[in-house]
Chain A
């Protein structure tokens, strides 16, 4: 398949996943604010940590005088100046989709297009003002519908594998960031581990990854930090755990290159990196992670995911140059 097409499918999928994850994180935290009056005093710190986790600190400060619930929600949901806002992600997803329409099913395109048009027409904001709950639910469902339609209507060939790569790399990155958010909220203040607020927050972490119920089925009893970390990093069957995502990335990469699992093509560095990451994740213990330092471990994980993403580009799309044509050169006999 064309390298440019592979690249567009990859990013189309990544941006859709990112929009969904942003919406879920905001939704969970807005609800958390309703639950826990206890953390009202740390309200600002809480929202700050979200911005920090997304690594959009500087951009945010450039455009907003102070960190409040409203400004953070606006920045992450609607602000086009933020390239990672839900709106921007949907616009970028659609822009990528537009370049590869002929590779997707009509249903996929319609779904992406519909979500974007709702933002552009202002209807999304009206919905948001009517009910934030309904609004975020609509985004989550929209993104899930897209992934479902993709599974059900697109051939599971090479293009589909690139969509999987984008989705799982983004998701692995996001799960590790959400876990890291916890670190920013709690540890610097020296809060008692195991307190009531703490439990609610760990539950929020699980909810941010749609993991609360699967977690409860897996570990009965109370929510404990090391168990949450274990579940979100190492659970082999939960589809948002880092291990699951890296496993999927590795699988798709091998399907694309045709090399057997467990082996790697010496020319495809991405395959070696994903295989190595998968092995590390499989054999590390939770005790070792905490010993290494949770934040340090997650930080390193994010770097390795970025490294893998870059290596994927190098392996399949390196020869693309990205010069934008000038509008004056775009004429045709439109008649």
Chain B
């Protein structure tokens, strides 16, 4: 058939849809038939309809620099990523195992530090982690859960194996895009859904609310749960608002809250009302100007005191950042072995720590072949893509690594898997990753699929929205 996918090249990459040129994977067959039968005009119409829906509903993210055009829509690609049931079960098991290990690790690190005493992780690595909070040593959190919401980034390598790229254990964002992407796809391609058995994602917000309710202080069965946002100028404000609305809870900014006698209240038209659980979308540093950054105007003075006294619960808890440090990341497989006596189901990407002398020598010798990352940056910042970098950029990283070896890791360049994406008037392969969202409360719940991010720039391996990335709907099949 003379169709859209004619001339589509898989090149040397693992392609989600095609085993090889012209050879569709079985779980993409129905999609191939549906899309293949369309004209470019039809497709453009569908795309415009989806974009319009996003813009008028205000499904946007904020770009800092400019003044009024501050909101952009997150580019959306209409070819979904499809994950067969078997494949997903493997991922799900791996993620469940990982979050369990991370929570056991945090419990240990803020108490006995057995894992350090037993020599599995060097003490210095913990001590020097930017987001480690020694002031919370010995502090117990409800149900020993530290990370309630985790976003773990996965990639697929050339063999199609899923690998963990990083964990986001502080305030992972993006889940609202996933939910809205699904809405948009349903609106634009209703018939396709009836041909596939796609697992629904709609219950995420209810599950999240369950998690938040179950960590209320004093086992309060009817807690007042709120979402704390930095405000409308935050790049993820749309998401904060979306989640609060869907959960039916109040969204508050720091100025809405006040602490009196170690109890957090919100300011309402009828007076002060007690708050029990806070889903905070503000980093530790800005939470409380009395304890952390003094210049923070986003936070609530006294909130950490209330938290310490056990009068309010925070999700995620304070100090989880020690677990998603890119150096700590390297030790997660060892944590799984140490705490659970299991082999990791999902592997890490091979990683060199410049903290270790031998690794550092290797990294410095191979700067032109490796991806170097600083331990605590996100959003695609603080990163060196060795093969594509200039000599000056490499030299700058060399100096930085030598000055502060603890702060850098390096990985081989992984050719992320690709998926067909619409470019101008035809499909081309673009690199993608996957961020599933994991909830940890009474039980572990993983949203089927996750947010598939796509690097829309030709050849780019960077999927972040701040760097020209877009997203796709992700379908986990029930078959």
Q: Report A's interface with B, CB cutoff 8 A.
A: 1-6, 91, 95, 98-99, 101-102, 106, 109-110, 113-114, 117, 120, 158, 256, 316-317, 319-327, 329-335
Contact = CB atoms under 8 A, between A and B. Distances in A.
Interface residues of B, number: 53
Contacts of B378: 333-335
Given A327-B64, A335-B174, A1 B230 contact: no
8 contacts: A2-B252, A2-B266, A102-B242, A113-B58, A332-B230, A333-B151, A334-B61, A335-B153
A3 B269 contact: yes
B108 to A, nearest CB: 23
A136 to B, nearest CB: 23
Query: Shortest 7 CB-CB distances between A and B: which pairs?
Result: A102-B245, A316-B269, A101-B241, A330-B234, A102-B244, A3-B267, A333-B168
B267 A330 contact: no
A334 B235 contact: yes
A217 to B, nearest CB: 39
Contacts of B232: 95, 98-99
Contacts of B171: 332-333
A319 B297 CA distance: 16
Contacts of B253: 4
Contact of B251 (A91, A102, A320): A102
B414 interface: no
Contacts of A327: 64, 233
Interface of B: 55-58, 61, 64, 68-69, 151, 153, 168, 170-174, 230-237, 241-242, 244-245, 250-253, 255-256, 258, 266-270, 281, 283, 286, 295-298, 378-379, 435, 464-466
Given A3-B268, A332-B235, 19 more contacts: A2-B252, A2-B256, A3-B256, A98-B232, A99-B232, A101-B245, A102-B242, A102-B244, A106-B57, A317-B269, A322-B255, A325-B231, A330-B231, A330-B235, A332-B171, A332-B230, A332-B234, A332-B283, A335-B379
Contacts, number: 121
Contacts of A333: 151, 168, 170-173, 378-379
Contact of A6 (B58, B258, B269): B269
A324 B233 CA distance: 10
B297 A110 contact: no
A88 B328 CA distance: 50
A331 B286 CA distance: 10
Contact of A325 (B242, B269, B298, B464): B298
Contacts of A322: 255
Contacts of B69: 120
Contact of A321 (B237, B251, B255): B255
Contact of B58 (A1, A101, A329, A330): A101
B448 to A, nearest CB: 20
Given A335-B151, A335-B172, A335-B378, A4 B267 contact: yes
A335 B244 CA distance: 21
A113 B71 CA distance: 12
A33 to B, nearest CB: 33
Q: In the complex, which of the residues A1, A322, A332 has the most CB atoms of chain B within 10 Å of its own CB atom?
A: A332
B166 to A, nearest CB: 8
A118 to B, nearest CB: 11
A113 B56 contact: yes
Contacts of B281: 332
A317 B235 CA distance: 27
Given A334-B235, A335-B151, A329 B464 contact: no
B236 A325 contact: no
A296 B68 CA distance: 41
A332 B280 CA distance: 11
B214 to A, nearest CB: 23
A187 B234 CA distance: 53
A239 B64 CA distance: 43
A234 B91 CA distance: 71
A325 B168 CA distance: 24
A204 to B, nearest CB: 35
A322 to B, nearest CB: 7
Given A334-B465, A335-B174, A323 B255 contact: yes
B232, B233, B258, B266 pick with most chain A CB within 10 angstroms = B232
Contacts of A114: 56
Nearest to A7: B269
A80 B368 CA distance: 51
Given A110-B56, A325-B297, A329-B296, A256 B234 contact: no
B435 A335 contact: yes
Contacts of B465: 334
Contacts of A335: 151, 153, 168, 172-174, 378-379, 435, 464
B255 A329 contact: no
Given A316-B269, A334-B174, A325 B233 contact: yes
A329 B230 contact: yes
A334 B256 contact: no
Contacts of A320: 255, 267
A325 B466 CA distance: 21
A329 B245 CA distance: 24
